[in-house]
Structure 1
Amino acid sequence: MTMSLTPAPKSTDAEGRFGDLYWVDEYPAITESDDELRAFVARAELPVLLASLAAALRDTSILEPGLVPPLPPMGPYLEMHGGMTPAQQERAREVGLAGLQRLRDDGIRSVDVLPQEMADEILAWFTGGRSHDAGYAGQLKHELDLAPDKNGQADWNFDDIAEGREFEVLIVGAGISGIAAAWRLQEAGLPFTWIEGAHRTGGTWWKNNYPGVRLDTPTYGYSFSFAQRTDWPHQFAQGHEVLEYLEEVFTRAGWNDDTVEFGTKLLKAEFDEASGTWLATTLTDGKETTRRFQAIMTGVGQLDHPMIPEWPGQDTFRGAQMHSQEWNHDVDLAGKRVAVIGTGASAYQIVPAIADEVSELYVFQRSAPWMLPAATYHDLVGESAEWLHAKVPHYGHWFRLWVTAGGIDGRLHIAKAEDGWTGAPASVSRANEDFRQAITERYEQQYEGRPDLLDVAIPNYPPSAKRMLRDNGVWAAALRKPHTRVISNGLVEFTPDGLITGDGEKLDVDVVIYATGFRPSDYLDPIEIVGRGGLEIHDYWGGDAKAFAGITVPNFPNLFMLLGPNTGGVVAGGLHFMIERAAEYAVKAIRELIVRDAKALDLKQDALDRHIAWVDEGNYAMTWGQPYVKTWYKNRFNRVSQVWPYRTSEYWLVTEQVNENDYEFLK
């Protein structure tokens, strides 16, 4: 069965505050029999079903107090239905079936924005009372179309407050961050020029097209709050599906190839203190152009600069070499002897995808990955889920909110270090150790009869110190193949025909694949950005990039970064949420300087220092912040410069308003 909808634009109020590019005005009629409905209920995520029914029926009595989902902390395995007991599940299915029958019999096919009291009541039940927390509620309402106080879109318009003032923003990048920036600026009526160095939109999702590429986070949590697609085919979307989504968002937003200056790179931006503007030098088709802008928003990404280590003899190798982000599809791997260097996220997807194609497979591992059990990692959404998303009004939106709510706390409790814990460096707390033991038991099952592989499969660092991967068994299966070898004693040299391992063994190799990651600490490279007093931003950072909420930097007025330092979520959070909030904060900051008749606003150094001290304190208390842990989350100063260590709801609070005391307003 295939279910699909052609969403119609949402009807909005006069302010257009409830816009969603995928809003559906009317859902197909439910015509199924009671037995068919019962089968769909049996496979539904029950808290999601009951919340969507309460909203559609405008009846919160179905949200019985005894059915509040317990929402226990996440462990190694995901608990369905928010940890509901079997008795709760049985009752919830009875209530759910009755609700679907009412939808069918009453012909209810659409839902409008909820009354405030009802929205709050449903959210309180849905989250076990957690929505009474300001940041928690704020984040959920940022994501919920049906909330009358959904936040995110500016509640003002540039033409209404600027009185003919010239103000234009330069957006750099047309990936996820650039799209978020352009949408939020467009909503506020702020003029912008948009550039992208590549030939198309999509950012990392067109650049990374290696075999097996897909999300390692649930698909429904990987979308914009203003573009909530609900008919995803896979539970963890394939790479091309994410790219197609971004392209469709681009089109639905009313943009086209003329909206973005593709093939245009930002070479240099220099702040002119006299006028309070930025002079931006761009390069297009070999021609440099300098233009003036009142503000700059950068959306150049964190994981964009491939990191390829250097070894002796590398340039003498006669075979093919490629980084995962620079995949050469002209290279035929069939029957080839292939070496994959690295065992991180991209290797985890590449190795199983090519294992049956190659004749010999050498996997060079420096450190083993911890992996979260995810039996459905390669699975389709399924027919029952397709039906629920297609026919129950806004089930898909509530399901997306369910994923979002789960990510606010995520597995932070597993990553938090316990004072006085004696199990280091293998683990950092009782919860961390319990997680370690549970995953180790899974490894023992996967590598049964292969003690050689088990020895190298179990990491020697605490769980969550590095990015955890999704495990549905394909990695272990690929390593167990007779033509696969795991090399854990290092790579010391290339030869024209192969590689030499750490113990001196020569391997004949046809193709080398670098799954060696990126240089995430190199923010804004290679752009030259010169701020007040002629200070260049990379000189200011000195290799240790810092920004308030990852967005603003002292001495660089009206420069706003999206997905900047310390905004990555690794055991909790959501990429799109962090990016959107940064864009929204930038829009708020622009409003502040306009209404104050200022040319620009510049973050004060003491405001940054206070913020970074708080962020560092949080990171030092986590697995990845321990002094004995080596992880790419840290820069060369051993400071964690990539990760946000708190709930994402804390980021909502930090970015909810621009504190005037944190900034100098330049007149």
Structure 2
Amino acid sequence: MTDRDLPRFDITDEDAVIERALEDASIPTLMMSMIHMSGDTSLLDGALRPAGVFINEYQGFMSEEDKAAVRAKALDVIRAFRDGGCQLPPPPSRETIHRMMNFLVAQDVPEDYVPMMLEEMELDGEDPRSDAWGEEVPVAQREAHRVVVIGGGMSGVLAAYRLQEAGIPFTVIEKNPSVGGTWFENRYPGVRVDVGNHLYCYSFEPAHHWSEYFSQQQELQQYFEKVVSNHGLAEHFRFNTEVTGAVYDEASGLWTVSTINQDGVKEDYLANSVISAVGQVNRPKLPDLEGIDTFAGQWCHSAAWDDSVDWRGKNVAVIGTGASAFQLVPAIAGEVGSMTVFQRSAPWMFENPIYHEKVPEGKKWCLEHLPFYTRWFRFLLFWPACDGAYETVFVDPDWPHQERSINEMNEFTYHMFFDYIKSQVGDDEALLAKVTPDYAPMGKRTLQDNGSWLAALKRDNVELVPQGVSRITEQGVISEDGSFYAADVIIYATGFETDRFLWPMEIRGKNGVALADQWGNEPAAYLGVTVPNFPNFYCMFGPGTNLAFGGSLIFNGECQARYIMECIKTQLQAGAATMECKQSVFDDYYKRFRELHAKMIWEHDSIKTSYYQNDDGKVTLLWPWKIIDMWRLTKEANADDYNLAS
């Protein structure tokens, strides 16, 4: 960190306002801000310090007495900073920043993680992921390289921001009327993000406005709309328009991207490069059930919510107990007449007491006014979810309790999760048996709970059926054991077509090969981004890039966006028309990908069904390496990994 162009912070509030705000502060984060304001690092050596770190725990397990003592010190520091004209002292050295990291999380942050965290925090106010290329690539070359981005969700907006920053002409094709992707489409009652919102936002666009720690759909969509507005990106978007296919022409080295809008008008776009930003959760999946079209009542899929569906006072059947049902069921259980929830597989969950909590006004004040508070709070959210759980997902073949866990750390996780579930269920042994998963924790998507899920299942008007559905009738649902359950409304919370990447688009590369045919049952891309036989074609949130043990998809997206921009820059600097991943590079990568997954929990024998797996039980969706590996591997594009052709 340098003293050049330091961010400006202004505090004008009176002492009483500041004192009230500090009551809501994350005390460990506050202590980091105090160091920036005062230049006094003696806090790092004092007795007042965090005792530990855990996901969604923002106070470092500090005592009330210690927190009060820090607040009193902080008021003096903030008052002096305010009265001194809000002038920042020289910034902490890199060594001191590392000490601050260690102090904040009460553990040693390994040296090799420090550069990644410094980049994520942007303490000097500069964006190290910036793709403003300066003189590295002549303007004329940039302006001649046109890009089409497919999808205007989280990844598409990010790609648009980086392309504009680099001066590359582009068009974003979005099938919906606005940006947001999954946060535009998923509108079912109770839908919210499950990554803390002060981390689930772009590093270049942090936000202090969030009304809840885990915001609901509307606020999330508004955030992406605001990013587009703030950076003048809207003119590049074509809404209510769907991409039907993209074909590569070897003679010209160009892609033709075919679209159709809501009025049925077809249009083709010529592009030098194509970025697929359609993600993995954008096509709802209905179960293949006999009689599904015969149901006489109202029905919808949770990811294609129909506002005309009236569940109030009705007999409602919910099929599925994954992430969507986990949010939906508690949101409407109190308003239905009765509810039957069909559970093929019970989810593991962990406690998050602030899952539905509002962000206090004092916390918002701290985020907005205190120097670097926002950045250190982001670090406090990120670190506990950054590779700490990695060792829990590797199978120890000699572990004796394979029926419930896969290694010693995973066994600890099992007991922590089970004890939480048991504490919620109480003495209802029958319900406990139903809601206890029969596979090792972390083996499927782990959900977080503030007590609302199991409280909903314990309601008198709710019945949990621990089996799948065999067929649908005109009047209701028949379970696998043949029992009939009457229903006025059926809600399918049955997930997405996650294993059908880019479907239903038809993408054709060299020699007319269809991407769907090349992939078959195992969609895969080098680093999740590039594919042999498809020059200048890039994926964001592509195969093998989902997360299951921590992190944030926005962090992954920023890594992927930088890598794509590095690829385009490498190509333009070489004067090449096309850039294609070498088959040998891809083969080596995918061999390592498969070998690693074979050792991990997601392909363990206890996992009978999972949307992470294909029909052969192979995991194709998840990133099997550490989060830091994603960051390292995507920092630069190695020209030797690619065939560059003029």
TM bracket, shorter-chain basis: over 0.9
From the superposition, tell whether residues 595 and 13 of structure 1 become closer, same or farther in structure 2 (CA, over 3 Å). Answer: farther
Aligned length: 641
After superposition, the C-alpha distances for 1:258-290 in whole angstroms (9 at most, x for unaligned) are 321112222221212222221222223323222
Q: Separation in 2 of the partners of 1:99 and 1:626?
A: 53
Once the two structures are superposed, the pairs formed by residues 243-322 of structure 1 within 5 Å of their partners are 243-256=221-234, 258-284=235-261, 285-322=263-300
561, 566, 571: which one pairs with 2:539? 561
Residues 282 and 288, structure 1, Cα contact 8 Å, conserved in 2 = yes
From the superposition, tell whether residues 48 and 617 of structure 1 become closer, same or farther in structure 2 (CA, over 3 Å). Answer: farther
Q: Separation in 1 of the partners of 2:358 and 2:56?
A: 18
Residues 299 and 490, structure 2, Cα contact 8 Å, conserved in 1 = yes
Are residue 579 (structure 1) and residue 562 (structure 2) matched?
Answer: no
The answer for the alignment partner of 2:209 in structure 1 is: 231
Instruction: Return the offset for 1:167.
Output: 0.8
Q: Separation in 2 of the partners of 1:314 and 1:476?
A: 29
Once the two structures are superposed, the pairs formed by residues 13-412 of structure 1 within 5 Å of their partners are 25-33=8-16, 40-41=21-22, 43-64=24-45, 74=54, 79-82=57-60, 96-108=74-86, 119=97, 122-123=100-101, 125-126=103-104, 133-134=111-112, 136-147=113-124, 150-157=127-134, 160-164=137-141, 166-256=144-234, 258-284=235-261, 285-412=263-390
After superposition, the C-alpha distances for 1:615-640 in whole angstroms (9 at most, x for unaligned) are 33333333213133132111123221
Q: Separation in 2 of the partners of 1:426 and 1:277?
A: 52
Residues 137 and 569, structure 2, Cα contact 8 Å, conserved in 1 = no
Are residue 488 (structure 1) and residue 466 (structure 2) matched?
Answer: yes
The answer for the alignment partner of 1:552 in structure 2 is: 530
* 3-state SS in 2 of match to 1:512: strand
The answer for the alignment partner of 1:468 in structure 2 is: 446
From the superposition, tell whether residues 164 and 30 of structure 1 become closer, same or farther in structure 2 (CA, over 3 Å). Answer: same
Letter of the structure 1 residue corresponding to residue 33 of structure 2? S
Letter of the structure 1 residue corresponding to residue 254 of structure 2? T
From the superposition, tell whether residues 150 and 418 of structure 1 become closer, same or farther in structure 2 (CA, over 3 Å). Answer: farther
Unaligned runs of 5+ residues in structure 1 are 1-11, 19-23
How much is the aligned-residue C-alpha RMSD, in angstroms? 2.7
* 3-state SS in 2 of match to 1:372: strand
The answer for the alignment partner of 1:452 in structure 2 is: 430
Letter of the structure 1 residue corresponding to residue 640 of structure 2? N
Are residue 646 (structure 1) and residue 629 (structure 2) matched?
Answer: no
Residues 44 and 99, structure 2, Cα contact 8 Å, conserved in 1 = no
* 3-state SS in 1 of match to 2:340: strand
Instruction: Return the offset for 1:514.
Output: 0.3
* 3-state SS in 2 of match to 1:444: helix
502-511 or 110-119: bigger deviation: 110-119
Once the two structures are superposed, the pairs formed by residues 422-461 of structure 1 within 5 Å of their partners are 422-461=400-439
Instruction: Return the offset for 1:177.
Output: 0.6
Residues 30 and 391, structure 1, Cα contact 8 Å, conserved in 2 = no
* 3-state SS in 2 of match to 1:343: coil
TM-score (norm 2): 0.92
Instruction: Return the offset for 1:128.
Output: 6.3
Instruction: Return the offset for 1:42.
Output: 5.5
Q: Separation in 2 of the partners of 1:625 and 1:85?
A: 42
From the superposition, tell whether residues 124 and 354 of structure 1 become closer, same or farther in structure 2 (CA, over 3 Å). Answer: closer
* 3-state SS in 2 of match to 1:56: helix
Instruction: Return the offset for 1:474.
Output: 1.0
Residues 39 and 90, structure 2, Cα contact 8 Å, conserved in 1 = no
Q: Separation in 1 of the partners of 2:302 and 2:88?
A: 44
Instruction: Return the offset for 1:552.
Output: 0.5
Q: Separation in 1 of the partners of 2:473 and 2:77?
A: 68
Letter of the structure 1 residue corresponding to residue 138 of structure 2? I
189-198 or 556-565: bigger deviation: 189-198
From the superposition, tell whether residues 294 and 158 of structure 1 become closer, same or farther in structure 2 (CA, over 3 Å). Answer: farther
Residues 10 and 82, structure 2, Cα contact 8 Å, conserved in 1 = no
Residues 114 and 147, structure 1, Cα contact 8 Å, conserved in 2 = no
Instruction: Return the offset for 1:410.
Output: 4.3
Letter of the structure 2 residue corresponding to residue 638 of structure 1? G
Instruction: Return the offset for 1:93.
Output: 5.3
Residues 553 and 608, structure 1, Cα contact 8 Å, conserved in 2 = yes
Instruction: Return the offset for 1:171.
Output: 0.9
Instruction: Return the offset for 1:212.
Output: 0.6
Unaligned runs of 5+ residues in structure 2 are none
640-649 or 619-628: bigger deviation: 619-628
Are residue 636 (structure 1) and residue 615 (structure 2) matched?
Answer: yes
Letter of the structure 2 residue corresponding to residue 607 of structure 1? V
TM-score (norm 1): 0.90
From the superposition, tell whether residues 65 and 659 of structure 1 become closer, same or farther in structure 2 (CA, over 3 Å). Answer: farther
Q: Separation in 1 of the partners of 2:4 and 2:155?
A: 27
Q: Separation in 1 of the partners of 2:615 and 2:139?
A: 44
After superposition, the C-alpha distances for 1:373-402 in whole angstroms (9 at most, x for unaligned) are 011111111233223223312312221222
From the superposition, tell whether residues 87 and 356 of structure 1 become closer, same or farther in structure 2 (CA, over 3 Å). Answer: closer
Residues 138 and 652, structure 1, Cα contact 8 Å, conserved in 2 = no
Once the two structures are superposed, the pairs formed by residues 514-525 of structure 1 within 5 Å of their partners are 514-525=492-503
* 3-state SS in 2 of match to 1:428: coil
After superposition, the C-alpha distances for 1:425-451 in whole angstroms (9 at most, x for unaligned) are 211112212222222222222222322
Residues 280 and 541, structure 2, Cα contact 8 Å, conserved in 1 = yes
Q: Separation in 2 of the partners of 1:342 and 1:283?
A: 33
After superposition, the C-alpha distances for 1:43-96 in whole angstroms (9 at most, x for unaligned) are 532331122222233443433376675656x5xx75554466889767755654
Letter of the structure 2 residue corresponding to residue 240 of structure 1? Q
* 3-state SS in 1 of match to 2:402: coil
Instruction: Return the offset for 1:141.
Output: 2.6
Instruction: Return the offset for 1:107.
Output: 4.0
Instruction: Return the offset for 1:465.
Output: 0.7
Q: Separation in 2 of the partners of 1:429 and 1:67?
A: 36
Q: Separation in 2 of the partners of 1:576 and 1:58?
A: 32
Instruction: Return the offset for 1:182.
Output: 0.4
197-206 or 101-110: bigger deviation: 101-110
Instruction: Return the offset for 1:41.
Output: 4.6
After superposition, the C-alpha distances for 1:351-385 in whole angstroms (9 at most, x for unaligned) are 11111111110000001111110111111112332
Q: Separation in 2 of the partners of 1:95 and 1:140?
A: 27
From the superposition, tell whether residues 276 and 205 of structure 1 become closer, same or farther in structure 2 (CA, over 3 Å). Answer: same
The answer for the alignment partner of 1:5 in structure 2 is: none
Residues 274 and 537, structure 2, Cα contact 8 Å, conserved in 1 = yes
Instruction: Return the offset for 1:174.
Output: 0.8
Q: Separation in 2 of the partners of 1:111 and 1:478?
A: 53
Q: Separation in 2 of the partners of 1:475 and 1:330?
A: 25
Q: Separation in 1 of the partners of 2:588 and 2:12?
A: 55
